[in-house]
Structure 1
Amino acid sequence: MADTLTNPMHVEVISPDGPIYSDDGVTLVAARAEDGEFAIMKNHLPLAAALDMCVVRVEKPGKEQRIAVFGGFLETKDSKVNIIAPLAELAETIDVARAQAAKKRAEDRLHSHSKEIDMDRAKLALMRALTRLHATKSI
């Protein structure tokens, strides 16, 4: 464990808009793939995983960064973790009021049972709003 603290991992999160997060000194990365949750520490075996819409936790000594990731891929090799996502947002950049309003709209659409509502789209909107709120610890 001491070796992890003296020689930690490097993590990068990249979206089509460019780099979202890049840092050294990381001791743990936790995410959810399509087949379940997992965590990565230094010297993890090489891994490639398709990510679900989830909150990625990046831990450093005394600090945790939460990133809302909306799909994508995670790859790790040689104590480097790369996440490539179609959309990713740092928790501190998320507008909580807007996410709560989006959650309410999606729930209202789902409860309306109207034939004019695209239920799959409403479910996806609800999942995005919940992911944002979980990233900010507002839920």
Structure 2
Amino acid sequence: MQIVVVTPAGKLYDEVVDYVVVSSKNTGQFALMKNHTPLISSIDSGYVKMVKEDQTLVTVILNGVIEFSNNIVNVIAQEAHVGFTEDSAMEHLLSVRKERLEENKRRMVDFGKAEKELAENIQKAKASKV
């Protein structure tokens, strides 16, 4: 069966697997195997474990939806990261989120400085007085 994991940043994972195990705080844990009954479920915070022969990968999911039909698993997530274990995937996801927050804070400071500089230049140019 095929599994595709997509985030707003693009396709994260697209492979053939033997089966998947889904774990979510809101729905508990369940497995999807070939020819499983079609289903749709939300994943508030959890993971999708993907098993192919002797290899196991884990995708940590934050705010997502999983849909299974015709032996294709589609996962759409607000945020996700693939790792060899749930802990390693979660650590990386949290570090990416932390970097993103720091970058947003830096941009807000830069925006504040630019806004202040613009106001000063308008005042110097006396542009508000015609």
Task: Please tell me whether residue 44 in structure 1 is matched to residue 36 in structure 2.
Answer: yes
Give yes or no for contact 2:60–2:90 (8 Å, CA) kept in 1. no
TM-score scaled by structure 1? 0.59
Q: How many matched pairs?
A: 92
Superposed structure 1 runs of 4+ greater than 6 Å apart: none
Larger Rg belongs to:
2
| Structure 1 segments unaligned to the other structure (5+ residues) | 1-8, 103-139
Calculate the aligned-residue CA RMSD, in Å. Answer: 2.5
| Structure 2 segments unaligned to the other structure (5+ residues) | 98-130
Give yes or no for contact 2:81–2:90 (8 Å, CA) kept in 1. no
- SS of 1:44's equivalent? coil
Give yes or no for contact 1:32–1:52 (8 Å, CA) kept in 2. no
- What is the distance in 2 between the residues matched to 1:20 and 1:11? 10
- What is the distance in 2 between the residues matched to 1:39 and 1:86? 22
Percent identity between matched residues is: 28
- What is the distance in 2 between the residues matched to 1:59 and 1:66? 9
- What is the distance in 1 between the residues matched to 2:65 and 2:29? 14
Structure number having the greater strand percentage: 2
Task: Kindly provide the amino acid, as one letter, of the partner of residue 32 in structure 1.
Answer: S
Relative distance call for 1:97 and 1:77 in structure 2 (3 A) is closer
